[in-house]
């Protein structure tokens, strides 16, 4: 028979509840009272968190069942002395699952679509701990605090020195990766992409329901293919309280004129044999839609490169600086020659 049932009552379970029953009850209540979903549930969330912190640890639960939480009945020191081997501390909140996200392409649950709406600015970064909470026993509601301090010396020995047990390392969130296709012009100027995702969330009854969310990505000038943009806590919620992370990886759409090499842009300029031999004068359009004069009065070899500094892509860390524009000359050689052309060529 247990000495006190207050912690069990907080979770809505019987004193003989199994570990799995405790965990199930805690998860259900944590989802219901988490401050991100229930602004008025902070105190209740703290209460159930502290109750689960004690009851989920076999040694703490045994001590609670035997001595309760009222002052004046502190348990004797554990074997090995206060704070020594075998000692059990009561400090700390339970670690909730980290908020993360997933989505799939194709319109099903977690699908991602381009969208022109506004971001609803939900805060999904927290775990199962309300903002402003501290992992200390001092935040315990009601009579719970008597379990952690203020215990008088019991008969036959000194007051035990309970120490906080370090929380278990948090498991990394599952990350789902999807491509973000961006045109070369958008990578040059920068832009804002709005992606609509359909995700699963767990409601207060523990059921999975679909919800839409818009993620806003501000593409900065000079970003390269391979740039990663991660949204923490914006995907499908799991029954165990965890959520997935979504990570977009920038991919560059092919451009009909330019190819990119780092911060430089390259383009081909096709010349006739006459232009290659006698010189040429052309006008080209740059990536930012400006006209640039390109000319040469000398013979041009096939593959000859003309470099224009500062006419390439902006540097992402220094947007006022740009790479180079490299123009590669290609010479078109005729497949046949007229007699006059042949005679002229023989003069070289």
Q: Residue 47 domain-assigned?
A: yes
Q: Residue 319 domain-assigned?
A: yes
Burial of 168 from C-beta contacts in 10 A (0-12 / 13-18 / 19+) = exposed
Per-residue pLDDT, 230: 94
Judge if 27 and 61 occupy the same domain: yes
| Structural tokens at position 34 | 């988490």
The last residue of one of the domains, among 225, 252, 279, is: 252
Judge if 286 and 239 occupy the same domain: no
DSSP letter for each residue of 231-267: ETT-S-B-TTS-B-EEEEEEEEPP-SS-EEETTEEEE
Q: Residue 238 domain-assigned?
A: yes
- How far is 265 from 307, CA to CA, in rounded Å? 10
Judge if 275 and 307 occupy the same domain: yes
Q: Residue 131 domain-assigned?
A: no
- How far is 219 from 208, CA to CA, in rounded Å? 33
Judge if 212 and 263 occupy the same domain: no
The residue among 333, 328, 276 whose CA lies nearest residue 301 is 276
Judge if 243 and 266 occupy the same domain: no
- Residues in the chain with pLDDT < 70? 1, 69-170
Q: Residue 320 domain-assigned?
A: yes
Give the total number of structural domains in the chain. Answer: 3
The last residue of one of the domains, among 19, 36, 67, is: 67
- How far is 152 from 40, CA to CA, in rounded Å? 35
Judge if 241 and 272 occupy the same domain: no
H helices of the chain, in order, are 6-11, 19-33, 42-55, 58-67, 184-189, 273-278, 339-345
Per-residue pLDDT, 213: 87
| E strand or H helix that includes residue 335 | none
Judge if 40 and 54 occupy the same domain: yes
Judge if 180 and 247 occupy the same domain: yes
Burial of 145 from C-beta contacts in 10 A (0-12 / 13-18 / 19+) = middle
Which CATH number do you get for residue 34?
1.10.287.110
DSSP letter for each residue of 188-224: HH-EEEEEEEEEEEE-TTS-EEEEEEEEEEEEPTT--
- How far is 221 from 244, CA to CA, in rounded Å? 29
Per-residue pLDDT, 199: 87
Q: Residue 239 domain-assigned?
A: yes
Per-residue pLDDT, 107: 37
Per-residue pLDDT, 169: 60
Judge if 231 and 298 occupy the same domain: no
* Domain ranges, residue 24: 5-67
The answer to whether the beta carbons of residues 99 and 243 sit under 8 Å apart is yes
Which CATH number do you get for residue 326?
2.60.260.20
Q: Residue 228 domain-assigned?
A: yes
Q: Residue 314 domain-assigned?
A: yes
């Amino acid at each position: 028979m247990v000495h006190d049932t207050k912690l069990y009552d907080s979770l809505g379970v019987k004193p003989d509840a199994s570990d799995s029953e405790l965990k199930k009850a805690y998860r259900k209540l944590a989802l219901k009272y988490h401050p991100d979903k229930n602004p008025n549930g902070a105190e209740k969330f703290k209460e159930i968190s502290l109750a689960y912190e004690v009851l989920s640890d076999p040694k703490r639960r045994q001590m609670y069942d035997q001595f309760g939480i009222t002052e004046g009945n502190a348990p004797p020191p554990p074997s090995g002395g206060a704070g020594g081997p075998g000692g059990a501390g009561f400090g700390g909140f339970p670690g909730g699952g980290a908020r993360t996200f997933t989505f799939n392409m194709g319109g099903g649950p977690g699908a991602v679509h381009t969208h022109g709406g506004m971001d609803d600015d939900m805060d999904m970064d927290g775990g199962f701990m309300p903002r402003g909470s501290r992992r200390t026993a001092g935040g315990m509601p009601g009579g719970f605090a008597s379990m952690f301090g203020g215990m008088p010396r019991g008969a036959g020995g000194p007051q035990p020195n309970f120490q906080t047990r370090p929380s278990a390392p948090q498991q990394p969130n599952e990350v789902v990766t999807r491509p973000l296709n961006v045109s070369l012009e958008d990578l040059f100027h920068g832009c804002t992409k709005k992606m609509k995702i359909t995700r699963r969330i767990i409601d207060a009854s523990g059921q999975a329901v679909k919800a839409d969310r818009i993620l806003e990505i501000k593409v900065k000038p000079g970003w390269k293919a391979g740039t990663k943009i991660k949204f923490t806590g914006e995907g499908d919620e799991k029954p165990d309280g965890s959520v997935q992370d979504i990570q977009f990886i920038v991919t560059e759409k092919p451009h009909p004129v330019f190819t990119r090499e780092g911060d430089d842009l390259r383009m081909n300029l096709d010349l006739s044999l006459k232009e290659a031999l006698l010189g040429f004068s052309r006008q080209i359009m740059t990536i930012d839609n400006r006209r640039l004069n390109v000319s040469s009065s000398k013979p041009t070899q096939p593959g000859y490169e003309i470099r224009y500094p500062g006419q390439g892509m902006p540097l992402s860390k220094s947007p006022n600086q740009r790479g180079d524009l490299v123009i590669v000359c290609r010479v078109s050689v005729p497949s046949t020659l007229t007699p006059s052309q042949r005679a002229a060529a023989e003069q070289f």
